[in-house]
Chain A
Amino acid sequence: MSEVKEITEKLKPKDFSTDQDVRWCPGCGDYSILKQVQSVMPDLGHKKEDIVFISGIGCSSRFPYYMETYGMHSIHGRATAIASGLKISRPELSVWIVTGDGDALSIGGNHLIHLIRRNLDVNILLFNNEIYGLTKGQYSPTSPEGKITKSTPMGSVDHPFNPLKLCLGADSTFIARTMDRDPKHQREVLHKGSQHVGTSMIEIYQNCNVFNDGAFEVFTDKSTKAEETLFLEQDEPLIFGKEADKGIWLDGSQPKVVSLADVSKNDLWVHNENDKFKAQLLTTFFDNPAEPEHLPRPFGVFYSEDRYRYEDAVEDQIKEAIDKKGKGNLDEILSGKNVWTVD
């Protein structure tokens, strides 16, 4: 490990930026994410040449062009499938998938859930802006019901996905949420995700200021953030509010917002990211903030679990096969067992 440290210590965030002009719209949330990713990279313990960024199609998917690592900008929805093949064949690499709500959850939905259940050790950065930006503003699978867009002039009749709930349903071993407007929190979550052994799903609320400006404003704006968000800390009670005066109390299996004036801190729900049942409940904190009586939206690591990695199991079988049969001998399988000679 010390050797790796020595090399990575020399790297700086700017060592991870390329000579390509960044082409997102001015003010796009993607800029902040790029910056945070570049700034955590030197601390993650990987050599630059061992890092690969793979993306699909969409605004976010331009990302690899801006990272001075190995990278591939692929086709719509398939980054997860391409990354799977890469990671299975090269388990030692640090593989990052950059995707969006359309790319990951619509056209690429199938690959996403299968990658997650296999638990390949890759990091997924899901830039969720609740809109199709690159194709200029159609509703996406995360757009809320009734969303008016170019393709839904009378409002969307689609019920949206709750991405983290979907991932947990696919037996995700790591789910977390962060936002473009909170760089520090983003860096923390990126760091935790990268340290997780297995598939880390990091949903990032990202503002598309051109086609869906302000979609997450209640969570990101100073004036409402404290009341509308719930930042998860391991072993800490769930407390939120401007004055840190509210908490989440579990009434049986029913989460309720309580005032700390009424309920003692010691009685509040204490966050435990290894508790799957509670994580499932947390993913259901998905209310429309416009509704009265809604729960705050959680950010941070919801859930983390140790489970074997697909690529390790594949390697183990190869080792086992070699132990049993010896390293493959080409001439032996070419001839097979039933040979006859013609002279």
Chain B
Amino acid sequence: MAKELEEKKEVTIVFAGDSGDGIQLTGTQFTNTNALFGNDISTFPNYPAEIRAPQGTVAGVSGFQLQFGSIEISTPGDTCDVLVAMNAAAFKVNFASLKKHGTVIVNTDGFSARNLKLAGYESNPLEDHTLDDYRTIQIDVTKMTRSALVDSGMGKKEIDRSRNMFVLGFLYYMYNRNLKGTEEFIKQKFAGKPELIDANIRVLKAGYNFGDTSEIFTSRYNVKAAQLKKGKYRNIMGNQATALGLIAASQKSGLDLFYGSYPITPASDILHELARHKNFGVKTFQAEDEIAAVCSVIGASFGGKLGVTASSGPGIALKGEALGLGMILELPMVVINVQRGGPSTGLPTKTEQADLLQAAYGRNGEAPIPIVAAKSPSDCFDAAYEACKIAIEHMTPVLFLSDGYIANGSEPWKFPQSNKLKEIKPKAAKKEGDYLPYKRDENLVRDWAIPGQKGLEHRIGGLEKEAETGNVSYDPQNHEEMVRVRAEKVAKISNSVPDASIDFGPEKGDLLVLGWGSTFGVIKTAVKDLNEEGLAVSHLHLRNLLPFPNKLAEVLQNFKKVIIPEMNNGQLLSMIRDEFLIDAKGINKIQGVPFSTQEIKAAIKENIATL
């Protein structure tokens, strides 16, 4: 039955269900298909901390939000056009984010009396007046899936596991996408298990055909390919991009990658990704604890390799002492913090930007370590690459900050060609002549001699060292000199990174929105929208947070007011006030979820109004 195609510029969908419902997989497949089709896209997975929280409860709801469009997309969307809810709890958790007159697709089987009770509903929202202003599509997905596989010989439990494919197929029909990509995926995922391949594809098609044959739609939707910059694209998740950035830096610097880490949410996927690429000479070491992880990296780095470790806030806290050692040894290494909600164990599966001060100040003694932060999933590649470049060329540990939001989010990535990547030149010690381990060049960087180099045998350690020779020294003047020279070395890194400049909006004006990390997309969207509405507001994004880029003071002075949105209680705010003595204002959200564009817009408007 031919149905009309209605054009949409952008669509936001939330898939939600029990954590065992395959929601993340469904969302990822829908994302990949649309990305391959050519949409711009941004995703936000949101899952519970418990691996298997009680079924059907609000605590067990797993969600996957994505926005895709034919226009530029920088955020996963504030509110959704379509909510797919596999049960009552999933509906309850996500209903508030549904736009007025939006569409709800529900699996009616997930709204049984028991489900309603588990979700804490007194009356069934599908039957009372909750959904009066919405378009509701009710499907008994469980029943449809079971009847699609009635002669498969599979058990009920097994059959029910492919329910998500029915929903996916249905949405492919609704948004006029073909099933090819997902069919390929199913074939790979269940390679060697033909009965599962067959079952999943059958259910996927059943969902698609259900859309086609049922009288649900008067029209289908079409979201055209986006007008992205020319080039080749792929879809990528943040942690994956981080891993690729590390491999690229290893290849370009000629240093084998040694990755020592201890499992922790949400950083473990970097380890998983790297462990798949041993054919790049990558050595991954799952250490016995966080401290061993960072220490193994110091050992590898002393041995002349590119040493990298990753963790999240609690693990970084454990690594603190070793970071100080890496700093005083002046060995190159990269320490990744995929931030999550804190303090302590905090909100392991939720996002936050609350480890900036820990990164900047969280060590004993005077121990500055450069900080580089990624702004989006694909930017994790560039930021990780830059972190490695700074570490290797300036002989220092570097902290690379990502967070749960961009680590698990995904977007299209105009990936680079390897020959276009910047060179990375290790500071290798010369073979001839006397080697002084702490003799410095014009950037105050020392030479790196590694075991195996004849005649360059030397000892380094965590005790204060004499300038140049590196011999243990308790001399008071020497200590002060060394503290200053190490700080100055780090400060000089600002000469090797781009100067601060406005990302969007007028160069001078009333209000500057200063951001860092994963708030980039939402600030960008808000600032653009408001400029279109006629407000003069500018956006400056910081990638280098220690040292700050050059010219930042000048840029800040060009604005009457500076506001700093952060998913914390005002950390960059403190650093900016401290360094530039300006009365910047913080816009803070500490809820474990990213800002919405609306929230940023409202904050900007409010601050303009009170200028």
Residues of A at the B interface (CB closer than 8 Å) are 18, 20, 47-54, 57, 64-65, 67-75, 78, 81-90, 92-93, 110-111, 114, 314, 317-318, 320-322, 324-328, 330-331, 333-336, 338-343
Which chain B residues border A70 with CB–CB below 8 Å?
Answer: 302, 451, 457-459
Given contacts A85-B307, A330-B418, contact A49 B297 (CB under 8 A): no
Binding site secondary structure of chain B: mixed
A93 touches B300 (CB 8 A): no
Chain B window 513-550, contacts with chain A (Cβ cutoff 8 Å), 1 for yes, 0 for no: 00000000000000000000000000000000000000
8 A Cβ contacts from B27-57 to A = 32, 35-38
Chain B nearest CB from A44 CB (Å) reads 15
Q: Is B305 an interface residue (CB 8 A)?
A: yes
16 residue pairs of the A-B complex, CB under 8 angstroms, read A71-B460, A72-B460, A73-B460, A74-B325, A74-B462, A75-B295, A78-B291, A84-B292, A84-B295, A85-B298, A114-B287, A328-B247, A335-B415, A338-B35, A340-B232, A343-B230
CA distance A87 to B451 in the complex (A): 11
- Which one of B70-78, B110-118, B278-286, B602-610 is at the interface? B278-286
B234 touches A335 (CB 8 A): yes
Chain B window 230-244, contacts with chain A (Cβ cutoff 8 Å), 1 for yes, 0 for no: 111111100000001
A82 touches B298 (CB 8 A): yes
CA distance A90 to B450 in the complex (A): 10
Chain B nearest CB from A206 CB (Å) reads 21
Q: Is B500 an interface residue (CB 8 A)?
A: no
Which chain A residues border B279 with CB–CB below 8 Å?
Answer: 318, 321-322, 324-328
CA distance A341 to B234 in the complex (A): 9
Least CB separation from B289: chain A residue: A110
Which one, B282, B296, B451, contacts A93 given CB within 8 A?
B451
Chain B window 288-330, contacts with chain A (Cβ cutoff 8 Å), 1 for yes, 0 for no: 1101100111111111110100000000000001100100010
A338 touches B283 (CB 8 A): no
Given contacts A71-B459, A82-B302, contact A89 B256 (CB under 8 A): yes
Which chain B residues border A18 with CB–CB below 8 Å?
Answer: 459
CA distance A73 to B292 in the complex (A): 16
Residues of B at the A interface (CB closer than 8 Å) are 32, 35-38, 181, 225, 227-236, 244, 247-248, 251, 256, 258, 260, 277-283, 285, 287-289, 291-292, 295-305, 307, 321-322, 325, 329, 415-418, 451-463, 471-472
Which chain B residues border A51 with CB–CB below 8 Å?
Answer: 451
Least CB separation from A67: chain B residue: B459
CA distance A47 to B244 in the complex (A): 37
B322 touches A78 (CB 8 A): yes
CA distance A87 to B457 in the complex (A): 17
- Residue from B231, B248, B280, B296 whose CB has the most chain A CB atoms within 10 Å: B296
Chain B nearest CB from A60 CB (Å) reads 14
A85 touches B457 (CB 8 A): no
A90 touches B452 (CB 8 A): yes
CA distance A93 to B300 in the complex (A): 12
Which chain A residues border B278 with CB–CB below 8 Å?
Answer: 317-318, 320-322
Which chain B residues border A81 with CB–CB below 8 Å?
Answer: 287, 291-292, 295-296, 299
CA distance A195 to B457 in the complex (A): 23
A48 touches B457 (CB 8 A): yes
CA distance A81 to B297 in the complex (A): 9
Chain A nearest CB from B251 CB (Å) reads 5
A314 touches B303 (CB 8 A): no
Chain A nearest CB from B115 CB (Å) reads 36
Which one, A88, A114, A328, contacts B283 given CB within 8 A?
A88
CA distance A57 to B325 in the complex (A): 12
B292 touches A111 (CB 8 A): yes
Which chain A residues border B289 with CB–CB below 8 Å?
Answer: 110-111
A78 touches B295 (CB 8 A): yes
Given contacts A85-B295, A324-B279, contact A114 B288 (CB under 8 A): yes
Least CB separation from A55: chain B residue: B461
Which chain A residues border B462 with CB–CB below 8 Å?
Answer: 57, 73-75
Which chain A residues border B472 with CB–CB below 8 Å?
Answer: 20, 65
CA distance A318 to B259 in the complex (A): 14
CA distance A84 to B283 in the complex (A): 12
Chain A nearest CB from B24 CB (Å) reads 18
Chain B nearest CB from A66 CB (Å) reads 9
B451 touches A89 (CB 8 A): no
B456 touches A334 (CB 8 A): no
